[in-house]
Amino acid sequence: MSAVVLAGASGLIGTALADALRAQGREVRVLVRREPRAPGEVRWDPDSGLLPDEVFDGVAGVVNLGGAGVGERRWSPARKAHLISSRVAGTSLIATRLARRKEPIRLIQASAVGFYGDTGEAVVREDHPAGTTFLSGLCLSWEAASEPAVDAGLPVAMVRSGIVLSRTGGALGRLNLLLRCGVAGPMGSGRQWWPWITLADQVGAIMHLLDSDVTGPVNLTAPEPARNSDLIRTLAAALHRPAVVPVPAFALRIALGGFAGELLQSQRVVPGVLQADGFEFAHPEPESAARYLYG
């Protein structure tokens, strides 16, 4: 099978994706910002423009997941600037280099459902306009950085990821302890729609897109979005724990700063493009996700 270049391999999704690609028999070339320490690692530096052209030799696809974690620190002005630059610089470098080669190398470019902002009760498909939040602007800049590849006619799919559910990391990683202790509950009103997806389906969807003809935005969310209170209740039930301790909105804002707004807003996002392309979810509804996480 053809090789895949992967940027952002050290994160939750990248680590799982690299393992799955290798299990499939694919060669994975991992872009790292330090000196390479393992076979398949290639050093790059988006800030200085370092990216060896030969890393793309014989490659069918590139998956770019690179970027600082949005929920890892409070959003100071400096942190916001870093969140944007850590995404835009790397994406622009990859897209520009791919455009120069003029080969039909497929680019799977990361983005997020934060693109849409707070959409209330509306069902959100890929043609929904961008919102006005900080993350909306970040996603707009992130996706725009891939334009050199798009303008060159290369097949580019921009994957707008939802809340990735995993036992060990991501948004649920922080919630796990509270769930296991029986002190989790609705966040804010709990009525907001959460666009969730399991890590297994996230990885499966990206691998599906590597072998697909789909281009443009693709929502990476489960086909059944759930209200925050219902999802947390379902997960807690799988652990035989209650989920009745609410987390007030003001407490979230004190603890998380600007990122709290992303957990409190409502996004009823559905994966229209993925479903139309025939992708089959392993965990389409909260109950199967709970069994996957805690079964």
Whole-number pLDDT of residue 142: 97
Domain encompassing residue 149: 3-163+196-221+269-282
Q: Is residue 169 situated within a structural domain?
A: no
Q: Is residue 150 situated within a structural domain?
A: yes
How many domains in the chain? 1
State both tokens at 240. 């035989």
- The pairing of strands 28-32 and 41-43 is parallel
Instruction: Tell me the Ramachandran region of residue 261: left when phi exceeds 0, alpha when psi lies from -120 to 50, beta otherwise.
Output: alpha
Q: What is the CATH number of the domain that holds 20?
A: 3.40.50.720
Kindly list the distances between the CA atom of residue 166 and the CA atoms of 20, 195, 197, 203, in Å, as whole numbers in the listed order.
15, 14, 9, 12
Q: Is residue 126 situated within a structural domain?
A: yes
| In contact, 18 and 9? CB cutoff 8 Å | yes
Q: Is residue 102 situated within a structural domain?
A: yes
Whole-number pLDDT of residue 250: 85
Q: Is residue 180 situated within a structural domain?
A: no
| pLDDT tens, the chain, 295 aa long | 589 999 999 999 999 999 999 999 999 999 999 999 999 999 999 999 999 999 999 999 999 999 998 888 889 999 999 999 999 999 999 999 999 998 999 999 999 999 999 999 999 999 999 999 999 999 999 999 999 999 999 999 999 999 999 988 776 777 888 888 888 899 999 999 999 999 999 999 999 999 999 999 999 999 999 999 999 999 999 999 999 889 889 888 887 788 888 889 999 999 999 999 999 999 999 999 999 999 8
Q: Is residue 259 situated within a structural domain?
A: no
Q: Is residue 234 situated within a structural domain?
A: no
Nearest-CA neighbor of 234 among 282, 267, 207, 194? 194
Whole-number pLDDT of residue 1: 58
Q: Is residue 139 situated within a structural domain?
A: yes
The distance between the two most distant Cα atoms of the chain, rounded to a whole number of Å, is 56
- Residues with Cβ within 8 Å of 245's Cβ and at least 6 positions away in sequence, in order, are 183, 184, 185
